[in-house]
Structure 1
Amino acid sequence: MIQNIDLRGLQLSPAELLAAVPRAATDVSAASEIAAELIADVRARGEVALLDQAERLDRVRPEAVRVPAEHVDQAVAALDPAVRRAIEETIRRVRRASAAQVPPAVTTTLADGATILQRWQPIGRVGLYVPGGKAVYPSSVVMNVVPAQVAGVGSIALASPPQNAFDGRVHPTILAVAGLLGIAEIYAMGGAGAVAALAYGVPAIGLDPVQLVTGPGNVYVAAAKRLIRGQAGIDAEAGPTDILVIADAAADPSLIAADLVSQAEHDELAAAVLVTDSADLAVAVEEKLGELAESTAHSGRVTAALGGTQSAIVLVDDLGVAAAFSNAFGPEHLEIQTSEPETTLVLIENAGAIFLGPNSPVSLGDYAAGSNHVLPTGGQARFSAGLGASTFLRSQQIVSYSREALREVADHIAALSTAEALPAHGDAVAARFA
């Protein structure tokens, strides 16, 4: 069912480790042509284009793209009490954890009368995308909205695809969570067209352009985010989810298999990887995977994901090599289920979120841990971070020098401007002392 990769006895260079990493055969650029057409259509025809795209791609034509307030109120009133309690607790936890991501303003005094104030300014207006494909993601509403609110974003627009099962409305649970968070500007639109509408605006429906688009989506959403970058910022080009588990002989194979399956049920292209120095554990996990894949609700999807080129059980000589492999993989979710997880953690550099020990499964992070579940996929954790309050903040340096403080560095500025053949730079300083 799942491929086995045996790296025991090999001394692999960093480049060879990267080459050994299993990946799904996905190419965002392959979707770019279609995404570009959808973007151009929205820019040219606005709401009509969004309605036509919904009818063609989502198999339903909503009455209007902008969601009326009464739909949100109805969804909040009809929300299952148990789900509401779970959402409210998740909001509370994510809000507390996100607050820790807001840096304080810091003033650095370099000399008498010479200061630099480092401050963090929230982005004024953002567009948050919540997918609605194979599953419903009310938790993604929380993960997008709460950090933006904590950062101080003043204007938030939320987009989610219209649902055929709900007569073209946004899924009611998504609407309900948005309502609980006080989001009033919601649009029934999905895919590349939604990204275009957020970035460029649709004046006819009161949708002003945003400065930043965040949130996960399919390959066309990722392609659209790549194409609109420059018109608006983006958080990342999200792809299929992935999980990597580092485990030794002390780990419970049933728990590892359950965690791998929990992520495999997202998508046929989801990656589920176990890296271990225990051949016995590898055999036991593979056996448990076969059992769970047959009995789980989304058996076909899970079986396809586990059998894909992106999933594997990887055998290594020791946990040091396991950590090196994980760093090359750059997992979205990393679980460390070893006898001394903190010792292994010291070796980890690249991961979106890390879950230590048998009682910290990825499912906890997906919902109620307080951490954010919008994380870098496809190895992007090697160079980028997950969504958080910092995503919605911009660092600004405010320079304030007195006349005497400027005089102290005037000769340095003149020397450097001469060395760079930009004499007007030095002249601009000298003019203040003429």
Structure 2
Amino acid sequence: MAGRFLTKRGGIWTYVRRVPDVYAQFDRRVLVRVSTRIAVSDDPSGRRAARVATRINSDLETYWHGLLEGRRDEARQRYEAARQRSRAMGLEYVDMVALIADRSADELMRRIEALEGRGLVEDEVAVAGALGGAERPVLRLSGLLKEYERLEKDALAGMSENQMRKWRNPKKRAIENLIAKITDKPVTEITRNDALDFRDWWQEKVERENLKWGTANKDIGHLNRMLKTLDKRLRLGIGAPFGELRFADDDGHRDAFDIAFVQNNILHEGALAGLNPEARAALYIVVETGLRLSEVTNLTKQTIQLGAKVPHVQVRPDGRRMKTDQSNRDIPLVGVALAAASAFPDGFPRYRDKPDSFSAVVNKYLAEHNLLPSDNHSAYSLRHTFEDRLTAVEAPEKVIASLMGHKWIRPKYGAGPSLEQKRQWLKKIAFNAPATV
């Protein structure tokens, strides 16, 4: 991509790029020229030079972005300081243009008198606060994620590094896709037409590349949530341009395995022999406990309680944020899960805080060995199967909710089902374990 900025200059491949308008205010160069130090005669096709140009382009964009973020931070700090000073004087912060155009002359005089009465006419921040002299910082799409993360700081507390990566990446992709379609516009200038154009772009892309509608819906959903949050918290007045634009989507459903299929195929002797031992043992625990993949991969020596009266695993945050409050639970170990946990009493360090890696390895293996009955089945389907098995033996709804980590529909009284009670129900649905775990 950066190869388009290459040109021949004095027999040398040279990177030449015009400074984008968004950065022109603080990078006064019209053109940026950087030699690749590769002679055209040594690289006629420009392939080597293109690789160098890619590095130059990446460094340059990082530099530009840093300058832009610095200016944004400074502008936001000035704006917030002016608003706070305005409130301290008992005044509503009003932009200077709106103050002159929409407010009365008496209101303007009242604000000037407030400054004079407090001896603040020489205080730049106070004057900016009273008279609306601090401009609202321009927030462009390229800065949307950073601002959203700042606003959601409390909600993100407790997330692990991997959880933060998974939280950021889809939002980052959605923003990059939108910028590619409508340019890096100020957030306040995004319109419903922009959102509709983006939806049309996704519709064509899904149909052309045979993608799933859920992929498009994720982009639209992330953009909608971010912009709605900013609109509410920063009073931007942009509404919800991406509201109610999701495509009809039925491709996110995961089917449960037939119980006999799990016993006769997945738990067949040697069926999982090709999986690495940690992945195999972790999968066996999922089969018998219904744990989420992110929960089984984060079991540790402290949360695998083999020496307890009722051997069990404890699902705890342990440096991560739980999916729900009810996810914090204890699950007895029976059958193949007990054997697997006994073989790995310290958990699965290879996959700790890496549930995506575990999922990819297991699903690839299951697919290659004909252990997925359809495209709607995956390792996660074993969790649905676990719930179906409990329902089949008519386990009480409160027991099912306690084991699944679901919210109980009725008010909570008492400590809930005991480990022994839960073990009794799990023994009723336990599979026959293969001889070798």
TM-score between both structures, scaled by the size of structure 2: 0.22
| Bigger radius of gyration | 2
Q: Which has the higher contact order (CA 8 A, sep 6+)?
A: 1
